[in-house]
Amino acid sequence: MLILLKNARIVTMNPTREILNGDLLVDGDRIAAIGQNLTEQADRVLDIHGDVLIPGLIQTHIHLCQTLFRGQADDLELLDWLQQKIWPLEGGHDPESIRDSALLGIGELFLGGTTTIVDMETVHHTEYALQAILDTGIRALSGKVMMDDPNGGIPASLQETTQDSLQESMDLFEKYHGQGQGRLEIALTPRFVISCTDDLLKEVARLAGAKKIFVHTHASENRSEIQVVERTRGMRNIVYLDKVGLTGPRLLLAHCIWLEEIEKEILVQSQTRIVHCPSSNLKLASGIAPIPELLARGAEVSLGADGAPCNNNLDAFREMRHAALIQKPLHGPTVMPAQQVFEMATLAGARALGREQDLGSLEVGKKADLAVVSLEGLHTWPKENIDLYTQLVYQAQSSDVRLTMVDGRIVMQDRELLTIDVPRLKTSSTQSLKRVMNRVGLA
């Protein structure tokens, strides 16, 4: 199917960072042409009326399984947040609640122009989230969370053996990796060092290397977490992960706030993919990651909203804005300029996934993952004689997105989700939340 998007202001993010006025032609799942006055006989023509066409936004740390628990774990520090609220709630999930939670998250992501995510599910029922990913059309790297340490404060509802954790994770990889015409990939996702045994993490590192599987985990988010790791492992987080063989370009490592010099050097030299989650870090009072320094040293850094209970929104525009703003009181007003931050939400996300040849920019031959952003609101006006990256990072909101396309398929248009039954989802997710809250005694 040929889809022609006409009269757009196109933020290409190509090697010269061109911003073009013109048209973009989609052929199947790929961008076929970009230029002015394209005349191909398309099956569908959409007049963009001068709105902004951007690469689909990429968020490299999301918990779809937690979207159902938005607002249920506010105003807590990380370990209390996990042990008192999130772990019990995750342990209370059933297949329908997992699917509802995933659909809620995906719908919000589409409404905000996010087309690709790196997702961490919970211990049980992961296949129902994966099916939601396949059904709705989002692009995702996802996996079952791994939590096998009996001394990690894990509730009984989430406890698993090392062998079961590894077996189920690899079963999911064999069944789902590459499904949805390649839109869905499977990662190994140990939660963090506190919840995992040495045996598990070493075997994850071995499997990841042998089968070229991505690993997605958390590290150095919180000072209390680091104290536990130092007490149980005798070293700091990043040093430990490096020792067990996990660091490298196939490791996506969320947060990385509290780092010593040796840890920064390990991350940079190993090309470990760091995921910055500024809104989550602010809400949990975890701290402010040293992103300007890491970027200056050549680290790979992309963005993610984290989960709805530690952020309340899965909004890439807020993450871009916060990523820019929180560093300025520390490092001065010129740090983290808008174009650099926008790249973190596009090309850097593609690089984190090893997909920079396919994703992250609007170029001929790349995947047709894109979003249309309107700058007609009063909060983005006047729109003349102003840097477009400034408008996108500092002024635009997710509600300004009026079309989202993944793999050449329009999944949201004019604020209507086309692959999710919203009225049914609202009813079902309300029932699912009540059911889970009652099950775990938090109603």
Residue type, 227: Q
Dihedral (C-alpha) 54, 55, 60, 61: value to the nearest 10 degrees? 40
333 CB contacts (<8 Å, ≥6 apart)?
none
179 has pLDDT over 80: yes
Amino acid 405: pLDDT = 98
**From the CB of residue 151, how many other CB atoms can be counted at a distance below 10 Å?**
9
How confident is the model over 286-307, as pLDDT tens digits? 999 999 999 999 999 999 999 9
- Say which DSSP state 86 is in: I
d(CA 364, CA 427): 42
Amino acid 40: pLDDT = 80
Amino acid 329: pLDDT = 97
- Say which DSSP state 244 is in: T
- Say which DSSP state 234 is in: S
Amino acid 443: pLDDT = 79
Torsion angles phi and psi, residue 168, rounded to 5: -65, -40
Amino acid 153: pLDDT = 83
Q: Is 333 exposed, middle or buried (0-12, 13-18, 19+ CB in 10 A)?
A: exposed
Amino acid 39: pLDDT = 82
152 has pLDDT over 80: no
Please tell me the least confidently modeled range out of 10-14, 106-110, 153-157, 352-356: 153-157
Residue with tokens 């159902």: 68
Mean pLDDT across the stretch 207-231? 97
Domains of the chain: 2-54+368-417 (2.30.40.10), 57-352 (3.20.20.140)
Amino acid 151: pLDDT = 84
Amino acid 106: pLDDT = 98
Q: Is the pTM of this model over 0.85?
A: yes
Amino acid 206: pLDDT = 98
Give the chain's mean pLDDT.
97
d(CA 314, CA 278): 12
How confident is the model over 122-143, as pLDDT tens digits? 999 999 999 999 999 999 999 9
